Structure 1
Amino acid sequence: MNGFYWNALRIEFVQGETVALALRRAGVANFGPTPNGGAARYFCGIGQCQGCLVSIDGSAPVESCITPAKADSKVTSGY
């Protein structure tokens, strides 16, 4: 199985799975803080609400629900 790192925790994923799905399957519900003080999370699943923004390997924030997981990447809160 492939894996990426979420705040130093290794998250396993199946090829073709999105970052959000792998995080949820691993029991991660809170994807970090949002600018308005809420918690980023998986919600719409189609990239429209931007409630699941994460940064991958230091990138600008991306929608984790439509971004394929990549082996050995480092995923952190997008805000």
Structure 2
Amino acid sequence: MTTNWQETLVEKQVTYTLNLNGKIILIENVPARVNEETGEQFFSPSTVERLQQTILDKKEPDHFIQVPVYDYSNSAA
């Protein structure tokens, strides 16, 4: 049985999120190819290198935000 599956990837600017040693890091306006059906994000090798370098450089962030945190295990069913 053959299934015709065609992914539709769209070039977009996304926010990359990373949890590094308990600290949430966001990098905005990252170019990615995004699957329209699933939302999965794909990054080019050069973009991945630049993301890693941005994180390793530890330069002063452009801005800070506050983020509420909820613990799923403590929420009522």
TM-score by length of 1: 0.23
Q: Which has the larger radius of gyration?
A: 2
Structure that is richer in strand per residue: 2
Q: What TM-score does the superposition give when structure 2 sets the normalisation length?
A: 0.23
Q: Quick check: which one's helix share is greater? A: 2
